[in-house]
């Protein structure tokens, strides 16, 4: 982390600080810091007008009263079921609630700072917890936990009473948080939020993927970010370089703005290849497909020249409907719209890949110690059969209106694929009985993202109609590193020899069985890795739409034959570093002027 104080610090009140993280979504955003506290729900600091202060105090009172009622009911229930001695725990909580110093402090904060009750409560709770944690006496230290419990209960009730939200803030804001989930991020696609930065996270985490899809500048992995920056400080988030600049001078803001204009001009230039084919210099035609999470991204897919949707992450339909669930018509409408807008190209709908870090707890109610190795992907689809049936019926029905393919996530065995296909057959029978149309030859493919699936790709290729390699998970599982954990992000090596061997085998297995193989992991969108993938024989690249022009240019610059030879030699190397250096050197030797695409 760099912390550069401007030389003028002593003389003027401008204290420019720069913190370094990783840029995961390009662009420049300028706004006031808004720290997101997430202990209970999403707590924002919302300034309120003078006239609204009494209302906030009243809301606090109502929430405290509701919590008191909840406590009484809980106490009665506990004494009925497990006995009076346990119920006395709640007396301690009731005492804190009834203690006027607790509520007085919160009211004072609301009045002094003219802020919403949630924020005032959260801050007082944090202060009290910190004070109690510092006591020598163990009994007193434990009371800190009681205060936290009571504070959380009041906060929950406060959030249930009509409350202030972000739409009331009139200036641009940048969200700062320890971590953000995909479901937090998906709600960021509107003003006043113009960018975000987090302390944790990984490049291929879903939060980063969504930021890119929303064109929202984002930086992740800035250690202690929420301690180093205060609410309301002016910040620049530079998603190109991965920096967060605090208290920039007007001249600095101007400089960043013009940097963004230069990037935009460069992007415009790249778009000139929109209607050109992704074809190597020696005539190998490759397909450029788009990954999308939201139906609203279809416009981008078309704008950047996608030749189809290689991955629609349908779980985001669940996330955007949360806490409700999409019904068959919701699914059907979304899939028809995608298929129609992408026609004559095809659309791969991946059945919902909830679980892991994607909302399973909210939708399905599961809580697991190790969710990434738990009930996610196809396993979760099969367990929650009703949700799965609803989705599969909708996909089948939509297949009558466009070129749609089905893809199952996180397949780890032939058995799982057979079970899912058996369910699909059953649903086809159901639709036949109901006289509903569907594509009888709908293709059914699988994600190759579990090492076991990659290792038996030759067998799976006999029973799947296509493969899509998900390197985000395949790397996570084969190298044993959490894709969202910045502590091990240095080990996230797409050029690891183990991974290249797996990729080679999967691509060859697909070719031998005569089924298409695509890659929809983030690896496919990186220009350097694209050269390697061309050499490995990958024919279909699926990525965030905005990355298509760059990768297409790379493909139009190289010869397949050269890439193949280069990869054969790379596979002899022992480490990811050796491979990367070798690839960079070879590309520089072969193309001394850089990768210059043909213009025709």
Question: Which residues are catalytically annotated?
Answer: 206, 520
Q: How far apart are CA 483 and CA 492, in angstroms?
A: 8
Among 182, 202, 470, 537, binds ligand PEP (CB under 6 A): 470
Among 118, 297, 449, 486, binds ligand PEP (CB under 6 A): 449
Residues of span 39-98 touching ligand PEP by CB under 6 A: none
Task: In angstroms, give the least distance from the CB of 471 to Mg ion.
Answer: 9
Task: In angstroms, give the least distance from the CB of 315 to ligand PEP.
Answer: 8
Among Mg ion, ligand PEP, none, what does residue 377 contact (CB within 5–8 Å per kind)? none
Instruction: Output 205 or 557, the one with its CB closest to ligand PEP.
Output: 205
CA distances from 78 to 91, 130, 151, 560 (A): 12, 30, 21, 71
- Interface residues toward Mg ion, by CB under 5 A: 449, 470, 473
Give CA 286 to chain center in angstroms: 28
Residue 471 touches ligand PEP, criterion: CB under 6 A:
yes
CA distances from 54 to 60, 117, 153, 162, 203 (A): 10, 10, 22, 15, 44
Q: How far apart are CA 377 and CA 159, in angstroms?
A: 32
Among ligand PEP, Mg ion, none, what does residue 391 contact (CB within 5–8 Å per kind)? none
Core vs surface per residue 507-538: b (16+ CB within 10 A) or e: bbbbeebebbbbbbbbbbbbeebbbbbbbbbb
Among 472, 489, 547, 557, binds ligand PEP (CB under 6 A): 472
Instruction: Output 393 or 483, the one with its CB closest to Mg ion.
Output: 483
Residue 313 touches ligand PEP, criterion: CB under 6 A:
yes
Q: How far apart are CA 447 and CA 518, in angstroms?
A: 9
- Among 553, 529, 527, 556, smallest CA distance to 269 is for 553
Task: In angstroms, give the least distance from the CB of 520 to ligand PEP.
Answer: 4
3-class SS of residue 486: helix
Which H helix or E strand runs over 243?
Answer: strand 243-246
Residue 297 touches ligand PEP, criterion: CB under 6 A:
no
Task: In angstroms, give the least distance from the CB of 211 to Mg ion.
Answer: 17
Which residues 6+ apart lie within 8 Å of 58 measured at CB? Answer: none
Q: How far apart are CA 217 and CA 237, in angstroms?
A: 7
Among ligand PEP, Mg ion, none, what does residue 300 contact (CB within 5–8 Å per kind)? none
Instruction: Output 291 or 586, the one with its CB closest to ligand PEP.
Output: 291
Among 297, 353, 416, 539, binds ligand PEP (CB under 6 A): 353
Residue 310 touches ligand PEP, criterion: CB under 6 A:
no
Among Mg ion, ligand PEP, none, what does residue 471 contact (CB within 5–8 Å per kind)? ligand PEP
Task: In angstroms, give the least distance from the CB of 309 to ligand PEP.
Answer: 13
3-class SS of residue 193: strand
Instruction: Output 315 or 473, the one with its CB closest to Mg ion.
Output: 473
Q: How far apart are CA 240 and CA 259, in angstroms?
A: 10
> What DSSP state is assigned to residue 360?
H
Contact 574/497 with Cβ under 8 angstroms? Answer: yes
Task: In angstroms, give the least distance from the CB of 327 to ligand PEP.
Answer: 23
Core vs surface per residue 559-586: b (16+ CB within 10 A) or e: ebebbeebbeebeebeebeebbebbeeb
Among 300, 307, 439, 473, binds ligand PEP (CB under 6 A): 473
Instruction: Output 56 or 473, the one with its CB closest to Mg ion.
Output: 473
Residue of minimal Cβ distance to ligand PEP? 470
Task: In angstroms, give the least distance from the CB of 356 to Mg ion.
Answer: 8
Contact 192/172 with Cβ under 8 angstroms? Answer: yes
Number of residues in contact with ligand PEP, rule: CB under 6 A? 10
Instruction: Output 350 or 428, the one with its CB closest to Mg ion.
Output: 350
Q: How far apart are CA 196 and CA 43, in angstroms?
A: 15
3-class SS of residue 203: coil
Among Mg ion, ligand PEP, none, what does residue 510 contact (CB within 5–8 Å per kind)? none
Residue 520 touches ligand PEP, criterion: CB under 6 A:
yes
Among Mg ion, ligand PEP, none, what does residue 297 contact (CB within 5–8 Å per kind)? none
Task: In angstroms, give the least distance from the CB of 516 to ligand PEP.
Answer: 16
Residues of span 475-504 touching ligand PEP by CB under 6 A: none
- Residue 263's φ and ψ, nearest 5 degrees, are -65, -40
Of 91-99, 322-330, 471-479, 553-561, which segment contacts ligand PEP by CB under 6 A? 471-479
- Write the DSSP assignment of 396-442 as a string of letters: HHHGGGS-EEEEESS--SHHHHHHHHHHHHHHHHHHHHHT----TT-
The two beta strands, 444-448 and 404-408, are: parallel
Residue 521 touches ligand PEP, criterion: CB under 6 A:
yes
Residue 357 touches ligand PEP, criterion: CB under 6 A:
no
Task: In angstroms, give the least distance from the CB of 471 to ligand PEP.
Answer: 5
Instruction: Output 203 or 397, the one with its CB closest to ligand PEP.
Output: 203
Task: In angstroms, give the least distance from the CB of 470 to ligand PEP.
Answer: 3
Among Mg ion, ligand PEP, none, what does residue 313 contact (CB within 5–8 Å per kind)? ligand PEP
Residue 128 touches ligand PEP, criterion: CB under 6 A:
no
Residue 207 touches ligand PEP, criterion: CB under 6 A:
no
End-to-end CA distance of the chain: 45
| Chain contacts with ligand PEP (rule: CB under 6 A) | 311, 313, 353, 449, 470-473, 520-521
């Amino acid at each position: 982390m760099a912390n550069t104080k401007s030389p003028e610090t002593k003389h003027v009140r401008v204290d420019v600080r720069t913190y370094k993280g990783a840029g995961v979504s390009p662009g420049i955003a300028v706004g006031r810091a808004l720290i997101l506290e997430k202990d209970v729900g999403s707590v924002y600091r919302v300034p309120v007008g003078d006239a609204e202060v009494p209302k906030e105090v009243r809301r606090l009172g109502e929430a405290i009263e509701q919590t008191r009622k909840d406590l009484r009911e809980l106490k009665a229930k506990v004494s009925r079921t497990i006995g009076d001695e346990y119920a006395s725990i709640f007396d301690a909580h009731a005492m804190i609630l009834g203690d006027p110093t607790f509520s007085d402090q919160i009211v004072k904060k609301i009045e002094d700072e003219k802020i919403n009750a949630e924020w005032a409560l959260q801050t007082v709770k944090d202060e009290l917890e910190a004070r109690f944690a510092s006591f020598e006496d163990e009994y007193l230290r434990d009371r800190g936990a009681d205060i936290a419990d009571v504070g959380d209960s009041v906060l929950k009730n406060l959030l249930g009473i009509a409350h202030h939200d972000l739409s009331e803030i009139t200036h641009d804001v940048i969200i700062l948080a320890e971590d953000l989930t995909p479901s937090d991020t998906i709600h960021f696609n509107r003003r006043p939020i113009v960018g975000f930065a987090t302390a944790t996270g990984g490049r291929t985490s879903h939060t980063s993927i969504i930021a890119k899809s929303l064109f929202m500048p984002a930086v992740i992995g800035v250690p202690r970010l929420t301690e180093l920056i205060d609410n309301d400080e002016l910040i620049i988030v530079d998603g190109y370089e991965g920096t967060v600049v605090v208290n920039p001078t007007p001249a600095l803001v101007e400089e960043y703005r013009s940097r963004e204009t230069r990037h935009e001009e460069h992007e415009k230039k790249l778009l000139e290849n929109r209607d050109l084919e992704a074809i190597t210099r020696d005539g190998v035609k490759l397909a450029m497909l788009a990954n999308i999470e939201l139906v609203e991204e279809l416009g981008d897919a078309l704008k950047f020249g996608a030749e189809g949707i290689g991955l629609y992450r349908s779980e985001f339909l669940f996330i955007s409907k949360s806490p409700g669930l999409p019904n068959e018509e919701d699914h059907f409408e979304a899939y028809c719209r995608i298929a129609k807008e992408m026609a004559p190209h095809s659309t791969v709908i991946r059945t919902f890949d909830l679980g892991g870090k994607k909302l399973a707890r909210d939708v399905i109610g599961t809580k697991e110690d190790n969710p990434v190795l738990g009930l996610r992907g196809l396993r979760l689809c099969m367990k929650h059969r009703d949700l799965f049936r609803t989705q599969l019926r909708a996909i089948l029905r939509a297949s009558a209106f466009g070129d749609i393919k089905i893809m199952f996530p996180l397949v780890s065995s032939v058995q799982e694929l057979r079970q899912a296909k058996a369910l699909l057959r059953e649903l086809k029978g159901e639709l036949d009985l109901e006289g509903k149309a569907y594509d009888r030859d709908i293709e059914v493919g699988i994600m190759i993202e579990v090492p076991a699936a990659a290792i038996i790709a030759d067998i799976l290729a006999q029973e799947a109609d296509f493969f899509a390699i998900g390197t985000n998970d395949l790397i996570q599982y084969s190298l044993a590193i959490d894709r969202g954990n910045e502590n091990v992000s240095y080990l996230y090596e797409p050029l690891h020899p183990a991974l290249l061997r797996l990729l080679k085998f999967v691509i060859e297995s697909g070719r031998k069985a005569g089924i298409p193989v695509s890659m929809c992991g983030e690896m496919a969108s990186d220009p350097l890795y694209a050269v390697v993938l061309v050499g490995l024989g990958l024919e279909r690249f699926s990525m965030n739409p905005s990355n298509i022009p760059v990768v297409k240019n790379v493909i139009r610059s190289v010869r397949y034959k050269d890439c193949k030879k280069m990869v054969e030699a790379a596979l002899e190397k022992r480490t990811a570093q050796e491979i990367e250096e070798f690839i960079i050197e070879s590309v520089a030797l072969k193309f001394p002027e850089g990768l210059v695409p043909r213009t025709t």
